[in-house]
Chains A and B, each alone.
Chain A
Amino acid sequence: MPSMLVTTPSRDGVGLEWLPVLAGLLILFVPTFYDLAGMIWVRDGEAHGPIILAVILWLIWDKRRVLLDAPVSTARAPGLALLVFGLLLYVLGRSQMILVFQVGALIPVLAGVLLAMRGWPALRAMWFMLLFIAYLVPLPSYFEDAMTLPLKQYVSEVATRILYATGYPIAHEGVILTVGQYQLLVADACAGLKSMFSLSAVGLLYLYLMRYQSWLHNGLILASLLPIAFCANIVRVIVLVLVTYHFGDAAGQGFAHGFSGIVLFVIALIVMLILDTILARFFKQQRATQ
């Protein structure tokens, strides 16, 4: 621990050694992110990409002292080994257009550079940033396909049951809902895979910033993120069905495209925050009684 607390006062010119490294990183990853922006981020439900990138840059900025201060220790051999592994992954990913490798290579590349230049303490200080890079990696399409359909079917099933129980004339066949005179196709977006992805990203970031000491507290919030996102999707489908049923198809479509994704996300976030407030109170009380 003490090694992390020792900060040698920064000397002039110590930051300059990063310039060649930065140039190298830009040469490798500017084209990657350019492709990512053109191919992935423009898609529906992928708008979180640039935000994640901004968060990563902020996380680095937040820990800039680690980079700017003179090294406490270095771990050259493991660092360079990790870097070379990352670069090979990058070459394979970039030349064969395997985005998962190309973007994912950023993790070993940055980790390797940190290790080689600033040693294990720097890696420890930046672990969350490195983990968060995983959210930049686009999900492989086969994974998405394999997850989306069962999710859509569950969402349709549960939404239909709830509405039917409350007396609406609703039935579903596969992912086609029939309510009164209307037929709604539960779209891929309603599967909520993307919202699970972004809610878990926000949830992780939140936990990182809150720095709760209790593992149970952290674990409970983490475990609740996916069920919350799933329930939010059911709410989304139910609201969509209700809007369509009461205000017509046009209103339903307008709602679906303009509004419901954001509402969904905000609802999910609020539920998470409420849960956290309750847990925080509970854990504080527990600590007080001990």
Chain B
Amino acid sequence: MRSNRLALLIAALMFAAGIGSVVARPDPSTARLEPTISLETMIPKHFGDWHEKPFVYVVNPQAQELMDKLYSETLSRTYVNSSGYHIMLSLAHGRDQRGGLQAHKPEVCYPANGFMLHKSEPGQLVTPFGEISVVRMFASKGSRVEPLTYWFKFGDEAVTGNEADRNLRRRMVELRYNFTGRIPDGLLFRVSSIDPDQTRAKQMQDQFVNQLLLAVSPAERRRLSGLGEL
């Protein structure tokens, strides 16, 4: 009977798809995590014109629980330069950034902490090693005005930029990593300063990032920004 043969054909296609989905899956036992990094030792306490200053309040992302799940390591430091300008640096690194484990965005955690988000737009941070796609934000809470710059490095690419584009790029990195049997890591890099002058804040933050990238080794630079040769 012909319809029986059709049913068997359909079933055979389904079985093939079932087998295909298992074969195409990256093997978790051989999938490689990127090596751990020690943010504490990787980021120098003195570089260029900047040195670390004992702790000043930095916005904490809204849920510590989620933070611990998402990131294997976080670092918050405040730096000050020779003219007394303060910059807050906040880094979070997660080794496994697949699927459900996705980084928390400052767009979410600042408003959740009672900040008004006035501006959040994609931009480019120019360095001697190339440009980094960043997001420039401007948040305030009462009299505290805080312009900030951040990027998110996913796998080996800084996948910041506008919302739609970012998610597509993330997906592409994830697929590329999966097909080569690796697991993408994620690094959230954020600098901010309490400064009502947005133009100055942006200049200082760019200068800070540039001096930091110059001070670290090429491999570390690549892990922080995705820039430079391997």
Report yes or no: B11 in contact with A76, Cβ–Cβ below 8 A.
Answer: no
Chain A interface helix/strand/loop/mixed: helix
With a cutoff of 8 Å between Cβ atoms, the chain A residues found around residue B25 in the complex are 94-96
If the complex has contacts A27-B15, A97-B99, are A175 and B112 also in contact, measured as CB distance less than 8 A?
A: yes
With a cutoff of 8 Å between Cβ atoms, the chain B residues found around residue A18 in the complex are 7
If the complex has contacts A24-B11, A91-B20, are A142 and B3 also in contact, measured as CB distance less than 8 A?
A: no
Chain B interface helix/strand/loop/mixed: helix
Task: Tell me how many residues of A have a C-beta within 8 Å of chain B.
Answer: 45
Chain A stretch 82-107: residues in CB contact (< 8 A) with chain B: 83-84, 87-88, 90-92, 94-99
Contact with A along B79-107 (1 / 0, CB 8 A): 00000000000000000001110100101
Contact with B along A217-261 (1 / 0, CB 8 A): 000000000000000000000000000000000000000000000
If the complex has contacts A145-B108, A149-B108, A175-B111, are A97 and B7 also in contact, measured as CB distance less than 8 A?
A: no
If the complex has contacts A27-B15, A145-B108, A175-B111, are A83 and B10 also in contact, measured as CB distance less than 8 A?
A: yes
Interface residue? A176 (CB, 8 A): yes
Report yes or no: B102 in contact with A141, Cβ–Cβ below 8 A.
Answer: yes
Look across to chain A and name the residue whose beta carbon is closest to the beta carbon of B111.
A174
Report yes or no: A21 in contact with B163, Cβ–Cβ below 8 A.
Answer: no
With a cutoff of 8 Å between Cβ atoms, the chain B residues found around residue A126 in the complex are none
Interface residue? B175 (CB, 8 A): yes
Interface residue? A173 (CB, 8 A): yes
9 inter-chain pairs at a CB distance below 8 angstroms, sorted by A residue, are: A24-B13, A74-B6, A80-B10, A94-B25, A95-B25, A97-B99, A117-B3, A141-B102, A153-B111
Please list the residues of chain B having a beta carbon within 8 angstroms of any beta carbon in chain A: 1, 3-4, 6-18, 20-26, 98-100, 102, 105, 107-108, 111-116, 141, 163, 167, 171, 174-175, 178
